[in-house]
Structure 1
Amino acid sequence: MDLIIRNGTVVSHKGRQIADVAVKDGKIFAVGYLGDMKGDKEIDAKGKFVIPGGIDTHTHHENPFQGCCGGDDFYTGSIAAACGGTTTMMDFSITDPGSLPYEFAQGRIKKALDRGIVIDFSFHCCLKEMSDAILEQVKDVIDLGLASFKVYMVYAKEKMMMDDGMLLDLIKEATKYGGLVGVHAENCAIADYNVAKAIERGDVDWMAHATTKPNLVEYEAIQRAITLARSCDTAMYIYHMSTKEGAQMLMDAQAEGRPVYAETCAHYLRLTDEIFTGDDGYLNLLSPPLRKKEDQNKLWEALSKKAIYCTGSDHAPFTIAEKSMRLEKGPDGKFIHDFTKVCNGAPGIELKLPTLINGVSEGKITWEQLVFANSYGAAKIFGMMGKKGELTPGADADIVIVDPNKEKTITGPEVLHMHCDHTPYKGLHFQGWPEMTILRGKIIVKDDEWVGDKGDGEFVKRRIEPEVLKTSSWYKD
């Protein structure tokens, strides 16, 4: 064997066992008591948890937005992801106006490879407009391996929003060829109206970003998206779900067997809108905004019930200079608070898995529920089963070894590996930390240090299983 990990607690989405894991030619060869089997390299994982590599379903690299692009590219961002226990990331191919999605997606794949991305990757095809020519390429995009789509139900001013008719056209076309459509669920009309009224009142403090996008803005859009998908007898995916009402709708739909899926993000699980207070609150503005503690608790409940299948970081590593570039300073030299002048997005790619591990340490979820939300659910929904998401023979040997006793406090961006000069997690303590990340049998992170090689990452071509699009009842504990 090329590698044997011995004596660890090996966790799947259904259970755990003290076992050994053997790796050969980049694949899982065997899991269990392996006795006298020898490995070229052996690791003693006694007292540690051995889990499948993480799948981050939501990252943004080299995606310009509201005049910002961020400090990370595919290379630097993927190093940070690996250091946080992520072995596969799903970014976005956001088709430029006037471009066609197939050719644009080809360019995004090439860019990631040319940059030297260090973990495996895929893309969601994100469309900002609709035409016959775009619809004609939906099948081609799916055949390319981008089996999932994203549509914005918001950002009309940025010319990124598709209306309900366009969304319905995409759902119908994607359904023909086995594609899954998902949405950034926010009611644009209500949000824009609230912002206009806030400007009239002069109420543009950082916190107004959250109050102009109350929970209603999200859960109304979720309900609308579910209704459109149901009319086509197909599935719907909700990106970065943040509200208690959204979580309840998700659980209600799944109780009826409807194929409604969602991700939430680490920041909604660890942070609340209290972080918008203070002069540096602008650094933490993102959409959907951070919510209240009761929303956070409901999201953890949904994770504990395996109703939320995926987790992402929504990593948007906009720098301090980018976040503040349109802000003006007052006589005291401090930025005048005006949320309408700040680009939306925050970094966090390295802290997705640590947030879930911390949730285990606090008793919010179990290790099995962590594996479901961190790896298995995304592999199943997005068409990577047999390759990603499980430590089973024949699967890619994407493995993370977690030390549940290791503690880390995020004193600032300097203790992380991303190329961004701030972090919303500053000051937070994490119990449990990934100490080793293995990509297809190769150790790429050891003791918080990246030890891999530039270009280790590969594109993952995906094909979604038909049952995923028809019912959520395929999953049984």
Structure 2
Amino acid sequence: MKYDLLIKNGTIVTAAESYKADLAVKDGKIVAISNEINDEAEKIVDAKGKLVLPGAIDVHTHMSMPFGGTVSSDSYYSGTMGAACGGVTTIFDYPVQRKGQSIMELINEKKAMLEEEACVDYASHCCITNLNNGEILDEMSKAVEEGITSFKAFLVYKKEGMMVDDATLVRLMERARELGAMINIHAENPDLIDMRTERYLAQGKTSAWYHYMSRPEFVEAEADKRAIHWAKHLNTPLYIVHMADKEGLEAAIQAKRDGADVFIETCPQYLEYTCEVYKRDNGRNFVCSPPMKGQESQDALWVAIKNGLIDTVATDHCPFQTYEKDWGKDDFSKIPNGCDGVEVLYPYMLDAANRGKIPFERAVELCATNVAKIFGCDDKGSLSIGKDADIVIYDKNKDFTVTIDKLHTNCDHTIWEGKQLHGYPVQTYLRGSLVYDNGDFVGKAGMGKFVKRSPRI
């Protein structure tokens, strides 16, 4: 057989082990892994001294998302181009339902843009904001048949009309259980946030610091615990997005130990920064929800990552331009919520491995393998025969300092400015096709394909 791609002499990293081997690709799939493969290939890559990793899956992104009076700055093209350049070969998008809109209307509304613009593969979670008199519960079965097996519920953004009440949440969770689907939740208490926001603004406390103060640890923890309570008593799976606080984390971990089907996601920004960033002159650039928390919460997140108790790391990528962030210069409640991250996700976690904080296998597990397992991406998440040839070649000795001019985002700033990384991806392959090569994007718009996912039953 003549292969399309042969990667030789590298060290393959899986969630379970690392070993030296050659890897061969044909028709977009991994077809051979062996100590030595000497067959012919259209392209041969020498990965001696480098790691060969599965492409990352960023399970939490918001491209072209209307929010806060504007739209997140990354299109599906620029956002997925950045993803490819950071070693992310699949993204999950979060389209948000408008009142009266059906699930498939929502998906089809985004479909044309994704087919035209996406540079990596893509899947969707649907954000459900209302049940349309029960029609959504019926339509969820059709969505699952189409490979859309996860749905998001906001326990926050009440004033914005995006929040679901507890009864709606429970109905969604029960229906998801019947269909083998998953409910993802954004956990914060909106009434406390609104009360505290009004109080601080009335007192003239308007800086970015009060974004954190309006929604501190206990505001997130209460909602975490409420959602976990329903998951345990309804015996239904629950995926908690962007976990940032120690108290909620501990509740989720205890639920796991009690046998509940609870999954925990956190984000690089919570692992790197604390709430102290909101005291900076450019603190509004770091405004996201939930906000970064105190050092105690950050320490707890790292302990849970090291102990295998956090399931995934994703980004909540949702950047806005500086002038838009400046809308809240004198009123923190007007700052569009969101930060960049998709291009930094894998390099950041691999840097942690390269510095000895976690094993490389753990970074792969958090950023690829676990995501594929939890969300039914059967062809993704690992380097094994029959899987999609989504491959990253990583140079442990390449130092990289993050600056906005080196990233591929359509944003004029990055919260990662000046972050020094030891080790960096040098090539990314999407289903065997080179899309990133030593600093340059070499793919093209429209290369990405829809990932049809399997239900959990």
TM over 0.5: yes
Counterpart for residue 258 of structure 1: 260
Rounded to whole Å, the distance in 2 between the matches of 1:345 and 1:295 is 20
Task: Identify which of 394, 400, 407 aligns with 1:408.
Answer: 400
Report how far residue 192 of structure 1 moved. 1.6
Counterpart for residue 236 of structure 2: 234
Rounded to whole Å, the distance in 1 between the matches of 2:419 and 2:226 is 36
Contact 1:70 1:420 in 2 (8 A): no
Residue type of the alignment partner of 2:425: P
Counterpart for residue 97 of structure 1: 99
Counterpart for residue 429 of structure 1: 420
Counterpart for residue 394 of structure 1: 386
- Residues 1:372 and 2:380 aligned together: no
Residue type of the alignment partner of 2:453: R
Contact 1:244 1:299 in 2 (8 A): yes
Rounded to whole Å, the distance in 2 between the matches of 1:432 and 1:298 is 25
Write the deviation string for residues 264-307 of structure 1: whole angstroms up to 9, x where unpaired: 11111112222212332111111000112232222122222222
Report how far residue 46 of structure 1 moved. 1.3
Task: Identify which of 216, 219, 225 aligns with 1:217.
Answer: 219
Counterpart for residue 209 of structure 2: 207
Report SS of the residue matched to 1:459. coil
Contact 1:306 1:372 in 2 (8 A): no
Contact 2:82 2:408 in 1 (8 A): yes
Report how far residue 151 of structure 1 moved. 0.5
Task: Identify which of 187, 190, 199 aligns with 1:188.
Answer: 190
Write the deviation string for residues 375-405 of structure 1: whole angstroms up to 9, x where unpaired: 00000000013x0001110000000111111
TM-score (norm 1): 0.93
TM-score (norm 2): 0.96
Report how far residue 250 of structure 1 moved. 2.7
- Residues 1:460 and 2:431 aligned together: no
Counterpart for residue 317 of structure 1: 319
Contact 1:381 1:464 in 2 (8 A): no
Counterpart for residue 440 of structure 1: 431
Rounded to whole Å, the distance in 1 between the matches of 2:405 and 2:313 is 24
Task: Identify which of 279, 291, 294 aligns with 1:292.
Answer: 294
Rounded to whole Å, the distance in 2 between the matches of 1:178 and 1:416 is 38
Report how far residue 452 of structure 1 moved. 1.1
Write the deviation string for residues 17-54 of structure 1: whole angstroms up to 9, x where unpaired: 01111111110112221342332211111111111100
Contact 2:231 2:260 in 1 (8 A): no
Report SS of the residue matched to 2:453. coil
Write the deviation string for residues 78-129 of structure 1: whole angstroms up to 9, x where unpaired: 0001000000000112111221112211222222113x21100000010112
Residue type of the alignment partner of 1:121: Y
Residue type of the alignment partner of 1:447: N
- Residues 1:347 and 2:340 aligned together: yes
Counterpart for residue 141 of structure 1: 143
Counterpart for residue 72 of structure 1: 74
Task: Identify which of 180, 196, 214 aligns with 1:178.
Answer: 180
Report SS of the residue matched to 2:152. strand
Report SS of the residue matched to 1:137. helix
Contact 1:300 1:365 in 2 (8 A): no
Segment of structure 1 superposing worse, 353-362 or 234-243: 353-362
Structure 1: 5+ residue stretches without partners: 328-334, 467-477
What percent of counterpart residues are identical? Answer: 38
Task: Identify which of 2, 24, 30 aligns with 1:22.
Answer: 24
Number of residues of Structure 1 aligned to a counterpart in Structure 2: 454
Segment of structure 1 superposing worse, 76-85 or 304-313: 304-313
Counterpart for residue 164 of structure 2: 162
Report SS of the residue matched to 1:359. helix
Instruction: Summarize the Cα distance change of 1:452–1:222 in structure 2 as closer, same or farther, 3 Å threshold.
Output: same
Report SS of the residue matched to 1:445. strand
